[in-house]
């Protein structure tokens, strides 16, 4: 928890055109208010706020939210279940082995992206193979622009990029280099 909290603390909130910024604003005031509503509801649960949870005091204009971390979140809390789309990270404890972690990861209506973090990379790859998500990383998360991108279950609308995503409406394969 200390490492995750320190990572959030190190983020620079501000103008996305500033190269030092690592966390820009929400897309709209409605998005900001929705996100703050998720945070307020999480504060009413057993979840423990370790950092953030409000608008930055030094930014009086714009739709900014501090990077926020909640520990001890229940896997069925709205902040864990809904697609929050903001700088909020939830840490959900569990007891059990890999099968319990896989069940928890798959116990969601959504599956856009995920990551498995472990000291044993081969074990992480095996766990990742069983998580129902559109993209997944082991000990990192980055989208590969050469690969199709899309979600599973109620996330996303199919696949984008890659030959299938670039094929076009008539189903013809995309020409190389396009």
Q: Going from the N-terminus, what domains does the chain have, and what CATH number goes with each?
A: 1-93 (3.40.309.10), 95-162 (no CATH)
CA distance 69 to 83: 15
Checking if the pLDDT of 169 tops 70, the result is: no
3-state secondary structure of 40: helix
CA distance 114 to 105: 9
According to DSSP H, which parts of the chain are helical?
Answer: 2-9, 29-43, 78-81, 98-106, 121-128, 162-166
Checking if the pLDDT of 174 tops 70, the result is: no
Would you say 149 and 160 are in contact if contact means Cβ atoms under 8 Å apart? yes
Q: How confident is the model at residue 126 (pLDDT cuts 50, 70, 90)?
A: very high
Instruction: Tell me, yes or no, if the pTM score tops 0.85.
Output: no
pLDDT score of 150:
82
pLDDT score of 178:
41
Measured from the Cβ of residue 115, the count of other Cβ atoms closer than 10 Å reads: 16
Q: Residue 96 contacts by C-beta under 8 Å, 6 or more apart in sequence?
A: none
Q: Which has more pLDDT, 178 or 114?
A: 114
């Amino acid at each position: 928890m200390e490492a995750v909290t320190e990572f959030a603390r190190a983020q620079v909130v501000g103008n996305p055109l500033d190269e030092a910024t690592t966390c820009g604003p929400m897309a709209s005031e409605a998005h900001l208010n929705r996100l703050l509503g998720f945070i307020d509801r999480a504060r009413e649960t057993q979840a423990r706020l370790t950092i953030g949870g409000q608008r930055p005091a030094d930014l009086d204009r714009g739709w900014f939210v501090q990077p926020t971390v909640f520990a001890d979140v229940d896997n069925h809390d709205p902040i864990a279940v809904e697609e929050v789309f903001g700088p909020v990270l939830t840490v959900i404890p569990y007891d059990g082995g890999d099968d319990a972690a896989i069940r928890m990861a798959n116990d969601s209506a959504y599956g856009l992206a995920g990551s498995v973090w472990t000291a044993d990379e081969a074990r992480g790859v095996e766990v990742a193979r069983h998580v129902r998500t559109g993209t997944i990383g082991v000990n990192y998360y980055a989208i590969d622009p050469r690969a199709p991108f899309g979600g599973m279950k109620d996330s996303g609308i199919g696949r984008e990029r890659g030959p299938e995503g670039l094929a076009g409406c008539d189903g013809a394969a995309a020409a190389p280099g396009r």
